[in-house]
Each structure stands twice: as C-alpha cells, then as structure tokens.
Amino acid sequence: MAGTVNPDLRKERENASFHPEKVTNFLYGGPGVVKRKRELESLVLNDPDFQSEDLNFLSREQQYETQMKKSILMVTKGEKLKITDVQDRSFYTSAVSGSDSFSFGLHVAMFLPTLYGQATQEQKDKWLKMAEKYAILGTYAQTEMGHGTFLRGLETTATYDPTTQEFVINTPTITAYKWWPGGLGKTSNYCVLMAQLYIHGKSYGPHPFMVQIRSLQDHKPLPGVTVGDIGPKFGYGSVDNGFLAFNNVRIPRENMLMKYSKVEPDGTYVKPPSTKLAYGTMVQVRANIVVNSGRVLAKAVTIATRYSCVRRQSEMKPGHPEPQVLDYVTQQYKLFPYLAAAYAFWLTGQTMMSVYTTSSNQISKGDISALPELHALSAGLKALSSWVANVGMEECRMACGGHGYSHASGLPRLYANMTPGATYEGENTVMMLQTARYLMKSYNQSLQGEKLAGSVAYLSGVQPVPAAGRTRNMLDLGVLCDAYRHRAARLVHEAAVQLRNERQAGKDQPDAWNAASVDLVKAAMAHSQYFVVKNFAERLTDSTLDSSISDVLTRLCQLHALHGLVTNSGDFLEDGYLTGTDVRQARRHINALMAKLRPDAVALVDAFDFPDGILNSVLGRYDGNVYEHLLEWAKASPLNKTDVHQSYHKYLKPFLEDNRAKL
Ligand SMILES: CCCCCCCCCCCCCCCCCCCCCC(=O)SCCNC(=O)CCNC(=O)[C@H](O)C(C)(C)COP(=O)(O)OP(=O)(O)OC[C@H]1O[C@@H](n2cnc3c(N)ncnc32)[C@H](O)[C@@H]1OP(=O)(O)O
Ligand SMILES: Cc1cc2nc3c(=O)[nH]c(=O)nc-3n(C[C@H](O)[C@H](O)[C@H](O)COP(=O)(O)OP(=O)(O)OC[C@H]3O[C@@H](n4cnc5c(N)ncnc54)[C@H](O)[C@@H]3O)c2cc1C
C-alpha cells in the first residue's frame, strides 16, 4: 500500500547498471538545474491550492473554470515567488499544467513572443509591460476557417485609411472568420491579428496587428467584434479555442506591429528586409514543439515501461509464475524503440533551441542570413518529432492493454492533447515540403559548385556506394551516421532528378513539384532523421559524460539508429549502399540491444524525472501500486456518487417494470 514500492519495480531499480540521477543531470544540463526543477515542482505539487479534481471527471465548462483558477494562481504565486527566469518558468508551468495547457498558454507561447519579435520599441513601451504583467491577455489569431496553411490566402483585411490614419479591419466572408486560436473564445481581450494589408487598393500580404477585442471594463466584445468558442474538440477540453470576426473595426495606424514592415502616415509602405520575418513567432513555436515532442514521448514511455514491469500476464513457461509483460521481447520491441526515440528527440530539442537562440539573436541584429536554414530545420524537425511522438504515444497506450484505454492511465489525455502538434504551427506534410524546398535549392547550389554550410553541408559530396562484399560493424555509430547521411543525400538527389524529369516531360514548376512531392517529403524526412541520429551520436562524444552512463546511452543511440534503419530498410538497400547481410545484422543487433537494455529500462525512464503529480497516471506511478489506485480512481467517478443513478428512476425502472409486466 501507500509508502511501499511494488516489489517488481523495486527489483528493477536495484538491478539497474547505473544511477538514474546521473542521466537526469545529463538530460537537464547539470545537478543545479535538476535541483531547481525539483524545488519548483514541489512548490506546486505540495501546494493544496493547486490540487483539483481530475479533469477527466469534469465537463468542458468545469475544466475551463478549473484551469482558469489554477492558471491565475500560477501567475500570482509565480510573481510572489519571483519566478522570472525562462527555464524556471517552464518548470513551474509544466508542474501546474501536467498534460494540459494552462489558460494563458497562447498568451505566453505566441502573443508575448510576437510583441518581443515584431513590435517597435515604442510599441513595446506601450503594450509589453501590460502583457507581461497579465493586465491584458492576448492570443495569436492567424488561422481562418478557410485557410490555415496558406497564409497568403488569408481573407481578413486591414485597409489603411490615410485620412484618419487608421486601419479598417474587416471579415469579408464566412471563410474569413478567424478559427482555432487558443484562448480566443472566452479568455483574451487582445490579439495579434494576421490580416492582409491593403493600401490605396494594393495588397501587401499578411501583416501582424495588435487588436483589442473585448472591453477592459466588462469583458464584452467591442462593437463590430464577434467572438466565441469553437466547441468541443478531440482534446484540450479546458482550452477555449475561438472564432473571431470584424465588421469594419477601426484601429490606429500605430497598431500595426512595425519592427520590420512599416506604413507611414501618408500610406507609404516600407518593405521589410524579408517578408518572412512576419512568420517569426511560428518558427519559435516550431522549435518549442521539437522539445515538447521529446518530452511527451518520454512521459508515455515512462508510463508504459513502469506498468509493463508491474503487469504480469500469461505463462511463458508451463507451471512457472506469470512473467512481467516487459519480459516478452515483442513488448520490448514496442517500447524500447520509443524509449530510444524519446532520448533522441529530447537531445534534438536542446540542439534545436540553441540553433534557434543563436539565429534569432543574429536576426534581431539585422543579419537575416540564418533565416532560411532556421526555417527549414525547425519545420522538418517539428514535423518529424511530432509524428514520431504521435505514433509512439499510441503504441505505448496499446502496450498497456485494456488499462491503457482508461483515462486512469493518463495516456488518452496525453495523446489527445499532444496529437495536434502534427497539425498546428504548420501541418506536418506542408512543413516537410518547406524543408524539401530548401534541400532542392541547396542541392542545386552545390551542383553549381557552391560550398554548403549548416545542416545541409553534407549535400556537397554524395558518398559513393561502397564496393560489394565489404563488411561493416552495424553497431558502430560512425557507420550508422554514414548510412543515414548517404540515404539522405541520395534521396535528395533522386527527388531533384524526379523534379527535373517532370519538368522535362513538359510540366510547369508547380505541377512538377506536386508530381514529385511524395519523394520530396521522403527526402526531407531522411534529412531530418539524419540530423537526429547525428546529433544523438555527437552528444555522446562529450568528454564530461560519466562512463557509467555513456554505455547505456550509446545502446539507446544504436537502437534508435538501427530501428530507423530496419524500418526504412528499402531506402538503404535500394542502391546497394547496405546489403541484405547488413540489414540482417542490424536486426540481430536490435534483439541483442533490447536484451541489454531490459535491466535498465526502469532506470532509464526514472531518469526523465517526472514526478507522479506531473505524469498523472495510475499505471505509471513511481511506486507501481497500480491496482489499488485503479480501484480508488474508478470509485471517484461521478457515476459512482450514488448507488442508484437518477436515470434508473427516470427511464430504466419504468422500462424494466414494463418489460416484466409484459411477461
Ligand atoms: C509564469 C508563466 C510562465 C510560462 C512559461 C511557459 C512557456 C510555455 C511555452 C511552451 C511551448 C510548448 C509547445 C508548443 C505549444 C504551443 C501551442 C501552439 C498552438 C498552435 C498555434 C498555431 O497553430 S498558430 C498558426 C500556425 N500556422 C502555421 O504554421 C501556418 C503554416 N503556413 C506557413 O507557415 C506558410 O504559409 C508556408 C507554408 C511556410 C508558406 O508560406 P508562403 O506561401 O508565404 O511561402 P512560400 O512557400 O511561397 O515560400 C517562399 C519563401 O519563403 C520561405 N519561408 C516560408 N516560411 C518561412 C519562415 N517562417 N521563415 C523563413 N522563410 C520562410 C520559403 O522557404 C521560401 O523560400 P525560397 O523562396 O527561398 O525557397
Ligand atoms: C489544437 C489546435 C490549436 C490551434 N491553435 C491555433 C492558434 O492559436 N492560432 C492560430 O492561428 N491557429 C491555430 N490552429 C490552427 C492551425 O495552425 C492550423 O490548423 C494548421 O496550420 C493547419 O492548417 P489547416 O487547418 O488549414 O490545414 P489544411 O492546410 O487545410 O490541411 C488539410 C490537408 O491538406 C494538405 N495540404 C494543404 N496544403 C498543402 C500543400 N501546399 N501541399 C501538400 N498538401 C497540402 C495537408 O497536408 C493536410 O493533409 C490550431 C489548430 C489546432 C488543431
């Protein structure tokens, strides 16, 4: 019972080959960070004010209200505790929100960053303090009912009127309704609105505007503004994703965010250094999604791995006790590749954020040369990581059998809330095609003898296919990185050839692009996977890495690379770069690696260091006392508040009595 750890989980921990604390320190960037993280988490988890009824038992309205109360507490307590550092705030926020979003998620993730990135100094002076202090609440209103992906197709207009020096904001059609922005329906009183700029009848494309939508006195929509909640969704029950329309609402000229593009009082348009700078906030969030994908996958494998050590089922050997289900190699094959992927994307997320920080510092100083590479890398990694996280979370849920389907497992909620990562902030296929566009451009530059840098440097020299009969050590990370590199370079080359062939067959560029797009996505995928594998291997060369953990991390890296290789074996075999023997060897290595990782599985998920209060899973509890808590959780279901439900008296009783009377 409470206090005692399930004996199976205890044994797992005793038998691990390393101390998880060391890996935790590696994952978070040192013992100091881990200590601070735990302090902030326990501030939340031990505070009775933050305890609430399980959201799974509440209606949408109740969920919205519960999260609102918690979010306000989070902000006010956070201010009192002076939690200002970005990393500290993210630990603190994650502890409050668990697998859900807090009510001001879009305010923090997009509204504030857009003001930081797109506003002039005068505009920052006017709004930033109010926004940072939550005196106004905003969201990022870009997507419309008719257009999310194609930003140039947005229909909301901002027409400049030089006589009054105002923009007239209008929603000309039903499809122009803003649709989806988080926190828009009921919470926000401001938004950054992306609208088509028109001056003297000429269109200048989408630009960001600061628009007040609700009264600061009574929170009613301002005249000319129609706003509301879009209704229940697959997940995010507590979030008021909203709709918004304007009927010729006037805002001052100064409300266009003018750090890059400007409109002078007389209507003269001043061009930005790049029109894509207006898309800057999206790039930042895409980088964040890579981090988040590693994290949600880590949560899912933590739950499924711990549960798989507690769960015993079937007879492996006649007459023997039922084994822990993690001892079935098929179970390991479901979970361990995602355990390895969680590590891979955790580390990729860190690299992505550091590339983002370096590039955005450069961009804010006026050097926009890093923009195309940053966009291409973040788009591809956002798509790859969120796709893998999606498949991995679902695999983990199914690996928990029936109990995985219960909300008690935490997995359905985790999945429902995180799966839109594949759609929002740029639908994944569209993002891969953006990366492919950059790859094609870079490839053509390299054909013309230009030296490439950054993530595409390898395209400059495609490696030859090695001579037949050469043997390789498929566990060697150098060999594996080379194989991924070769595959990516070859698929980029082949997509380029296909594109050229389509053109030569008479198609124009857009039709040729569309005809080649399956191969283009494949190339972008291979490029992104190479980046992830190479990044993982490079992190292991860190000379400060403790030798007791570098062995186990190397196994994870090998497993990640080998599993991807076997899953996509056709790509590696097609041109003879790998042989059938290599792939067979890879499969055997996977089995051997899983056997070696088996005793360390629990320690490896413990190392992610998710406290129970954040994991929110009966199956994934640290103490493994699953069954008694499953029963306790079920008893708390609102349907169990009475022994006989009211519907018995209303419907069931007369129905049963009627049927009995007819006998
Ligand atoms: C105390 C409290 C503390 C709290 C602290 C705690 C903090 C908590 C925070 C934690 C967060 C956790 C996780 C996140 C969760 C967040 C939730 C998010 C919710 C979701 C929000 C959204 O969902 S919000 C809407 C996103 N909606 C899109 O995402 C649209 C996609 N659609 C496009 O993005 C464009 O439409 C698309 C396709 C590019 C074509 O754009 P287009 O047509 O204009 O362009 P073309 O294709 O013609 O391309 C022309 C050339 O532009 C180049 N280019 C294009 N984009 C570029 C770019 N961005 N940068 C540079 N270059 C770019 C391209 O590469 C070409 O280059 P070239 O010509 O040289 O080849
Ligand atoms: C939970 C959630 C929260 C959101 N929050 C916000 C928010 O806060 N603010 C905001 O502005 N928006 C928000 N969005 C909207 C989101 O950004 C868009 O839904 C997303 O960008 C995808 O656009 P779309 O819906 O138009 O998809 P579509 O583009 O209509 O996609 C439909 C299909 O068409 C395909 N497709 C489209 N274009 C191409 C192409 N060029 N080539 C090949 N295939 C293509 C896609 O791959 C996809 O399979 C949110 C969405 C969700 C689900």
Question: How confident is the prediction for the chain on average, in pLDDT?
Answer: 96
pLDDT tens digits for range 497-517:
999 999 999 999 999 999 999
Quote the pLDDT of residue 466: 67
Candidate from 285, 345, 374, 514 with most ligand 1 atoms within 8 A of CB, to mutate: 285
Quote the pLDDT of residue 464: 64
Which residue in the block uniquely carries the two structure tokens 């507490």? 73
- Tally the residues of the chain: 663
Contacts of 407 (CB under 8 A, 6+ apart): 54, 56, 413
Ligand 1 closest atom vs CA 423? 23
CA atoms within 13 Å, Cβ hemisphere of 560? 30
Candidate from 434, 444, 455, 521 with most ligand 1 atoms within 8 A of CB, to mutate: 434
Quote the pLDDT of residue 1: 42
Beta strands in 247-299 (DSSP E): 249-252, 262-263, 269-270
For helices 547-567 and 477-504, what crossing angle results, to 10°?
30
Q: Is 429 in the pocket of ligand 2 (CB under 6 A)?
A: yes
Q: Is 236 in the pocket of ligand 2 (CB under 6 A)?
A: yes
CB 555 within 8 Å of CB 597: yes
The whole-number average pLDDT for the span 627-631 is: 98
pLDDT above 90 as % of the chain: 94
Write down the CATH number for the domain with range 114-272: 2.40.110.10
Does 429 belong to an annotated binding site? no
Query: What's the CA gap between 374 and 284, in Å, rounded?
Result: 10
Contacts of 84 (CB under 8 A, 6+ apart): none
Q: How far is the CA of 245 from the centre of ligand 1 (A)?
A: 22
Q: Is 75 in the pocket of ligand 1 (CB under 6 A)?
A: yes
Q: Is the pLDDT of residue 468 over 70?
A: no
CA atoms within 13 Å, Cβ hemisphere of 339? 32
Q: How far is the CA of 490 from the centre of ligand 1 (A)?
A: 28
Q: Where along the chain do its domains lie?
A: 114-272
Query: What's the CA gap between 422 and 292, in Å, rounded?
Result: 12
Does 182 belong to an annotated binding site? yes
> What phi, psi does 98 have (nearest 5°)?
55, -125
Query: In the beta sheet, which residues pair with residue 198?
Result: 159, 203
For the purposes of burial, counting CB atoms within 10 Å of the CB of 618, is it exposed (0-12), middle (13-18) or buried (19 or more)? buried
pLDDT tens digits for range 58-110:
999 999 999 999 999 999 999 999 999 999 999 999 999 888 889 999 999 99
Q: Is the pLDDT of residue 176 over 50?
A: yes
Q: Is 383 in the pocket of ligand 2 (CB under 6 A)?
A: no
Q: How far is the CA of 423 from the centre of ligand 2 (A)?
A: 5
For the purposes of burial, counting CB atoms within 10 Å of the CB of 340, is it exposed (0-12), middle (13-18) or buried (19 or more)? buried
Q: How far is the CA of 412 from the centre of ligand 1 (A)?
A: 28
* The model's pTM: 0.97
Quote the pLDDT of residue 548: 86
This model of the complex carries an ipTM of 0.96
Handedness of CA 629, 633, 635, 636 (dihedral sign): positive
Query: What's the CA gap between 32 and 326, in Å, rounded?
Result: 34
Nearest CA to ligand 1 atom 46: 434
Quote the pLDDT of residue 474: 96
The ligand that comes nearest to the alpha carbon of residue 151 is: 1
Which residue in the block uniquely carries the two structure tokens 């609700």? 214
Ligand 2 closest atom vs CA 178? 11
Which residue in the block uniquely carries the two structure tokens 């013992």? 31
Query: What's the CA gap between 11 and 6, in Å, rounded?
Result: 9
Task: Please list the active-site residues.
Answer: 425
Q: How far is the CA of 422 from the centre of ligand 2 (A)?
A: 9
Query: What's the CA gap between 617 and 646, in Å, rounded?
Result: 30
Q: Is the pLDDT of residue 31 over 60?
A: yes
Both tokens of residue 220?
């009613």
pLDDT tens digits for range 556-613:
999 999 999 999 999 999 999 999 999 999 999 999 999 999 999 999 999 999 999 9
Q: Is the pLDDT of residue 437 over 80?
A: yes
